[in-house]
């Protein structure tokens, strides 16, 4: 008998087709595979007062940074760097192609520098967070969920 999480993963696979296994796992953690885009408001730190957007739970400041640093995305989505964060969050929720393209580029950048588990930690906590240094990342709940969704396929 399949577990509830495995059943949810299978139901969401059609909506995440073409995202790649690792991005599918991130989307399952962040938004139940794109079904729950009502991310909570961040209460502390750099992103205080904003919400993540899209299936991958990307913060608007992160999305703007990736757009700015990637020539192809800058050409296609450059105007979105200048909109208020809540407007970009709404756009990421509504435009799955844009959400996927930016998330794919961010994931490629993280994976070019680190293992998939450390990259998953960095996705959640930020690339330079202390929880993602050394072997500490292996013990985070987020990485545990990431591993689960990768092996539940």
How far CA 17 is from CA of 9, 75, 78, 114, in Å, comes to 12, 25, 26, 25
Domain regions of the chain by residue span: 1-36+114-153, 38-112
3-state secondary structure of 58: strand
Confidence of residue 138 (pLDDT cuts 50, 70, 90): confident
On the question of pLDDT at 8 being above 60, the answer is no
What would you measure as the largest C-alpha separation in the chain, in angstroms?
A: 49
Token digits of residue 12: 């969401």
Kindly tell me the burial class for residue 135, based on how many C-beta atoms sit within 10 Å of its own C-beta (0-12, 13-18, 19 or more).
exposed
Q: What is the pLDDT of residues 48-59, one digit of tens each?
A: 999 999 999 999
Q: Is the pLDDT of residue 129 over 90?
A: no
Higher pLDDT, residue 141 or 2 = 141
Tens digit of each residue's pLDDT (9 = 90 or more) over 111-125:
888 888 888 877 777
Asked whether the whole model's pTM tops 0.85, one would answer: no
Q: Read off the pLDDT band of 130 (50, 70, 90).
A: low
- Report the C-alpha gap between 41 and 34 in whole angstroms: 18
pLDDT band at 12 (very low <50, low <70, confident <90, very high): very low
What count of Cα atoms within 13 Å lies in the side-chain half-sphere of residue 153? 17
């Amino acid at each position: 008998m399949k577990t509830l999480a495995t059943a949810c993963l299978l139901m969401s696979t059609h909506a995440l087709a073409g995202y790649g296994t690792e991005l599918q796992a991130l989307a399952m953690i962040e938004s139940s595979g794109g079904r729950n885009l009502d991310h909570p408001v961040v209460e502390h730190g750099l992103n205080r007062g904003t919400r993540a957007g899209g299936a991958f739970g990307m913060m608007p400041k992160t999305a703007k940074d990736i757009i700015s640093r990637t020539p192809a995305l800058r050409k296609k989505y450059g105007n979105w760097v200048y909109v208020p964060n809540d407007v970009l969050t709404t756009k990421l929720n509504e435009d799955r192609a844009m959400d996927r393209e930016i998330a794919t580029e961010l994931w490629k950048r993280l994976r070019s520098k680190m293992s998939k588990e450390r990259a998953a930690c960095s996705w959640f906590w930020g690339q330079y967070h202390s929880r993602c240094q050394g072997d500490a990342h292996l013990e985070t709940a987020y990485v545990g969920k990431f591993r689960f969704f990768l092996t539940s396929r």
